[in-house]
A and B are shown apart, each in its own frame.
Chain A
Amino acid sequence: MIEVRNISKSFGKVRAVHNLSFKVDTGEVFGLLGPNGAGKTTALRILGTLLRADSGEATVAGHSVSREPERVRRIIGVVNGGMGLYDRLTGREVLHYFGRLYGMKRAAVNARIGELDNLLTLGDALTRRVGDFSTGMKQKIVIARAVLHDPPVIFFDEATSGLDVMARRAVLDVVREYPNRGRAVIYSTHVMSEADELCDRAAVLYRGHLIAEEGIDVLKDRTGADSLEQAFFRLVEESEPVTKGEAA
C-alpha cells in the first residue's frame, strides 16, 4: 500500500531524513518511532505531499507522491497533534467544509458524520463552535475530519500529544480499529508504550536515519529487551557511531 524508497530531505544544512526506505501493507499498523527531531514528521509530510523529497521516491497505493500529489491526497488522511480547527465553525460545519473539498455530496457527508458520531461519540461537538471545545473533543473532530472520506491510508503523527487519558484512549481505539477495515495506518510517535500496544511492525528513526525496521516482537527479541522502550534505547546506542557522524 505504501512504499518508501531511499528518500532524503534536508533543510539548509540540516539533514532531516537520510536514505529512508520502508513498506506498509494493507491491514497493518506501522509504527514510525523515534525521539523529537528524528525525522518522523518530515517523512510523513513527504508522504502527505506537503514536502518534496530531495531524492528517492515514495508511492501510496501505487501513486507517486511527487508526480501525482492530488491523487495521493484523495486517498490519505492525516492526524497530527498540532492540527487545529476553525474556532468560529461548529464541528458539523468543519466536517462539511472538508467533505466538500474531498468531493463528497452533502448527503454523503451527513451519512458519514452519523457513522463517525457512533465511532467517536462526537455528540454536541457537532453543533457547538469549535472554540468552546476541550482539547480531547477537538482531537475527535480532527480525527473525524481525517477519516471523513474513508481513506485507505491514514497517518497519525504524535496524535495523542497533549491529550488527557480519556481522549488518548479514544484516539488509540480508532487506530486499533482502522486496519480491521482493510486500511493501512502509519502511527508516528515517541511514546513507545503506545507503539507497543498498537503497531504490528515499526521503523525506528534516529537523527534522520533508519536504524531498524521489523516486527515489534522481533525488535524486542533481537535486542533482548523486555519492552519496546528498552529495545529502542539499545538500538539507539548501537547506531550512535553511525548516526552521530552524519548528524548535522
Chain B
Amino acid sequence: MRSPIIVHLARKEILSTLRDRRAIFSNLIIPLVMLPAIMTGLPLAVGGLFEREQETVTELGIVGLANLPEELRAIISAQNVTLVEVADPEMVVREGDYPAALAVPGDFVTHLASGRPATIRVYSKQGNLASELNASKIMAAVQVYRQQLVATTLTEAGLDLTVLEPILVDTVDASSSAELASGQLAWLIPFFIALWTLIGGQMAAIDATAGEKERGTLEALLVAPVRRSEIVVGKFLATLTFGLTAATMAIAGYVLGGVLIRSLFLPRLGEQAGEIVDVLGGSLSIDLGTVLLLLVSALLLTSLIAALLIGVTLFARSFKEAQSYVAPLSFLLIIPAIGLQFKDLLDLGSGVYAVPVFNALVLMDDIVKGAVTFGSVLVTWLSLAAATTALLLFAYGNFRREGVIFRT
C-alpha cells in the first residue's frame, strides 16, 4: 500500500465531509456542548427545582384544623406550609387543587393525652414529585413532633432518650477519592464517548461508501489505478478522524463540564443541590494521565467502529439505506452501556476485557473511577486492535465483491 495515496484519499473524504455543515455541527459543536450542558444543567435544574419547592410557601388542604395541636401546627408552618380548611381532602388532591392534604380526627388530642396512638391521614399522589415532596414536609413535621412527645414521656418516666437506640451503626465509605467523585451516573461518560464515535464517524463513512454509490462516483474511483486496500484504508482513516474528533470533543466537553461545575457553580449551590451534583458525578476531577488513557481507549474503540461502519455501509445503495443499517449499530453501544450500570452486581471476571466494545466501556468506566489496572488496559487494547483488523479485512473483502460494489 502507498501511504501518499492513502493520505490523498483520506484528505478528499475529510474535505468533502467538512464542507457539509451538518458534519461540523454533529462532530464538533454538539459533543462539546452536550456533556457540559448535561453535567451542569441537569444537576442545577434538578437541584434548583427541589430547592425552590422547599422554599416556596405552599398551601395544603386540611380537615380538622381545630384538632391539630398548636405545637404541631407551628412545626408544619416552619416547613413553609400554610394549611387551608377543605371539605374533602382526597378530592382536592385528586383534582389538583392542592398538592397534598391531611385529615386530623376529632379524637386526636384525646388519644395523645391518654397515651394511645393517634392517627393523622396524609393525602398525596404517588409518582407526582411535587405532591410527594409536600407530603414529605407533613411527615417530617409529624416526625419532629413525635420525637418531642416521646422525649417528654421518657423524661417524665425518668428515662434517657438513648434507651430507644441501644445499638448505633457507623457506616464508612471505602471508595477511593476518584470513585467518590465519579458519582452514580459516571457510566454516562464512557457511554457518551462511545456514542459520539459512532455518530461522528457515520457521516464520513456513509458519504465515503453508500454516498459514492448513490452519486455514481464509486465506479470512477475504482477504474483509477488505486488498490482496493488503499481505498479501504483511506476511507477508514477519514471515518476515524471524524469519529475521534467527535469523541475528543465529547471528552473536552466532559472536562469543561467538570471545570464549570467546580469553579463556577458548585460554590454557589445550596447543600442539598451540591449533594445532587455529587450523585450525578459533577465533582469528577481527572488528571492528564486519565485523559490520555481515555483518549487511547477512545481511539481504539473509534477504530473498531470506523472499520465496522465502512464494512457495513458499503452494502447500502444509498445514503438513506446506509443510515438504516447504522441505526441498529447504536444498540451495540447502548446495550453494553445499560449493562455497565449493573457492573457491580454482575460477576464479570477479567474475561470481560476481551469482549470488544463492552471492554472499552468497562475500561473507560474503570479509568474514570480510578480503578484501572495494567492487565485490563493491555487486554482491552489488544482485543480492540484485533477486532479492528478483522473488520478492516471484512471491509476490504466487500470492496472486492462485485455483488456489493454493483448492488443496485
Contact = CB atoms under 8 A, between A and B. Distances in A.
Interface in A73-105: 73-74, 76, 78, 80, 82-89, 93, 97-98, 100-103
Contacts of B12: 86, 89, 97
Interface string B208-239: 00000001110111111111000000000000
Contacts of A101: 5, 8-9, 221, 224-226
B20 interface: yes
A111 to B, nearest CB: 19
A70 B223 CA distance: 9
B340 to A, nearest CB: 38
B201 to A, nearest CB: 18
Nearest to A130: B215
A98 B406 CA distance: 21
Contact of B216 (A49, A71, A84): A84
A135 to B, nearest CB: 12
A103 B225 CA distance: 9
Nearest to A131: B19
B153 interface: no
A98 B15 CA distance: 15
A76 B223 contact: yes
A89 B220 contact: no
A185 B13 CA distance: 32
Contacts of B16: 86, 88-89
A84 B8 contact: no
Task: Find the residue from A48, A70, A71, A84 having the highest chain B CB count within 10 A.
Answer: A84
Contacts of A174: none
Contacts of B405: 50
Nearest to A81: B216
B225 A102 contact: yes
A145 interface: yes
Nearest to A52: B402
B223 A50 contact: yes
B219 A83 contact: yes
B223 A49 contact: yes
A248 interface: no
Nearest to B4: A100
A164 to B, nearest CB: 19
Given A50-B405, A86-B215, A98 B19 contact: no
A76 B216 CA distance: 18
Contact of B219 (A50, A70, A97, A103): A50
A84 B19 contact: no
Contacts of B5: 100-101
Contacts of B225: 70-71, 73-74, 101-103
Contacts of B9: 101
A51 interface: yes
Nearest to B217: A84
B217 A48 contact: no
Interface string B117-138: 0000000000000000000000
Contacts of A87: 215
A45 B218 CA distance: 13
Task: Find the residue from B12, B215, B216, B225 having the highest chain A CB count within 10 A.
Answer: B225
A129 B16 CA distance: 11
Interface string A63-74: 000000011011
Nearest to B19: A88
Nearest to B9: A101
A102 B223 contact: no
Contacts of A86: 12, 16, 215, 217
B220 A98 contact: yes
9 contacts: A45-B406, A82-B219, A83-B219, A84-B216, A85-B215, A89-B19, A97-B8, A101-B221, A142-B220
Interface of B: 5, 8-9, 12, 15-16, 19-20, 215-217, 219-227, 402, 405-406
Interface of A: 45, 48-52, 70-71, 73-74, 76, 78, 80, 82-89, 93, 97-98, 100-103, 129, 142, 145-146
